[in-house]
Structure 1
Amino acid sequence: MATQKTYLVISALGEDHPGIVNLLSKAILEQGCNIEDSRMTVLGGEFAAMLLVEGKWNTLAKIENAIPELQRQLNMTIITKRTGERATGRNLLPYAVDVVSMDHPGIVNNLAGFFADRAINIEDMATSTYAAAHTGTPMFAVHMTVGIPSDMHIAGLREEFMDYCDGLNLDAVLEPLKG
């Protein structure tokens, strides 16, 4: 019988400076744990990290106990939460969504509302702003991965999504996620 893996989600936020990833990953490794998944980025002047750490219950406890010292060393706010393996009950198809438009408030909320209204889960999302080439117009880009129920009519959903985005003046693509 396979044993269920135990995980710790670590969220860290603090002023960006060199060496954060090194010290954070070293602390995890020294306790005998492994980073299975992570997202790390600089937002403004802050460094933000979300890590999924796998280990035995006692090694995860060692990390939890080391957090106050790690917060002090890194000058960061660190939050942890125990979790288990992700449930795979629903048969979902992974699709990529890419949207680009002139920047304006409400883009993320509109997209999130479209998918929420159809019970489609947003699995991953990254957004960015940039200046358009030649004109310097403020632009906004969204890339997300969504889990579409396998019994949903994809062509109909795609048409509905494209019409929705056209109505909001968003250039969009909805396509199967390429492995």
Structure 2
Amino acid sequence: MQTHIILTILGPDRPGLVQDLSAIFTAHQGNWTESRMVHLGGQFAGLLQVSLPSDQLIALQQALDKLQTNGLQVLFAESKNSLVHEDSDLLHIEVLGLDRPGIIRDITAQLAALKVNIEELFTEQRTAPMSSELLFFASLVLSLPKGVSADQVKKQLEDLSDQLMVDLNFD
């Protein structure tokens, strides 16, 4: 039987870190199925899903525990659902506007009120080309629950965009 695990890894970045992780998974018959990894402020931050035989789970945990002696923090959780929400409609939104605290809070409050789930969220600060002012950019992939349409989400967020002074682009 296959087990699906979700790992969060945080620690000092170094060349070869991802290779070390992949070697551990391979040694335990694991299949690296999905991941997001980034270098932030000198740190490695990774979130990944691995599928492996259930009888390899304890040995994999022990091997990952050894990484923690190198300054890495590893959080380990068994996934109960390895499938993507195939029956949900997905909506992609991009947000761009002058940076200020609270933009994500305000947008996510509207989404939570509609029971919309955030599947992916990417944010960054960008410099405006002409003025060099700091801009906030976000890209969201949303999973819409049954009974909530893309048009409802668009209307809710477009009403908010005037208050936030941001541009919204819906895909």
Instruction: Calculate the TM-score normalised by the size of structure 1.
Output: 0.87
User: Are the counterparts in 1 of residues 8 and 76 from structure 2 also a CA contact under 8 Å?
Assistant: yes
Structure 2 counterparts to residues 53-68 of structure 1, below 5 A: 53-68=50-65
User: Counterpart of 2:144?
Assistant: 148
CA contact (8 A) 2:4 2:82 kept: no
- Looking at structure 2, the residues matched to 78 and 42 of structure 1 have their Cα atoms a distance apart, in angstroms, of 16
* 2:102 counterpart residue number: 106
Moved more, 28-37 or 148-157: 148-157
Residues 88, 66 of structure 1: CA spacing in aligned structure 2 closer, same or farther, 3 A cutoff?
closer
Distance (whole Å) between structure 1 residues aligned to residue 84 and residue 43 of structure 2: 34
Shift of 1:111: 1.2
Q: What displacement does 1:168 show?
A: 1.1
Confirm whether residue 95 of structure 1 aligns to residue 116 of structure 2.
no
Task: Give the alignment partner of residue 164 of structure 1, picking from 155, 160, 163.
Answer: 160
- Runs of 5+ in structure 1 lacking a partner? none
**Which whole-Å deviations, capped at 9, do the CAs of 1:8-42 have from their partners, x for residues lacking one?**
11111011221111111111111110111111001
Cα distance change of structure 1 residues 6 and 173 upon mapping to structure 2, 3 Å threshold? same
User: Which residue number corresponds to residue 111 of structure 2?
Assistant: 115
Percent sequence identity is: 24
Root-mean-square deviation (CA, aligned residues, Å) is: 1.9
Q: Is the 8 A contact 2:11 2:45 kept in 1?
A: yes
- The answer to whether the 8 A contact 1:7-1:60 is kept is no
Say whether the 8 Å CA contact 1:96–1:145 is kept in structure 2: yes
Distance in 2 (CA, whole Å) between partners of 1:10 and 1:122 is 19
1:89, distance to aligned residue in structure 2 (A): 7.9
Aligned residues: 171
> Alpha carbons of 1:157 and 1:9: their partners in 2 closer, same or farther (altered >3 Å)?
closer
Does the 8 Å contact 1:6/1:85 carry over to 2?
Answer: no
Q: Partner letter of residue 3 of structure 2? A: T
SS in 2 for 1:166: helix
TM-score scaled by structure 2? 0.91
- Corresponding residue of 2:29: 32
Instruction: Give 2:73's aligned residue.
Output: 77
Q: 1:7 aligns with which of 4, 8, 23?
A: 4
Aligned to 1:47: 44
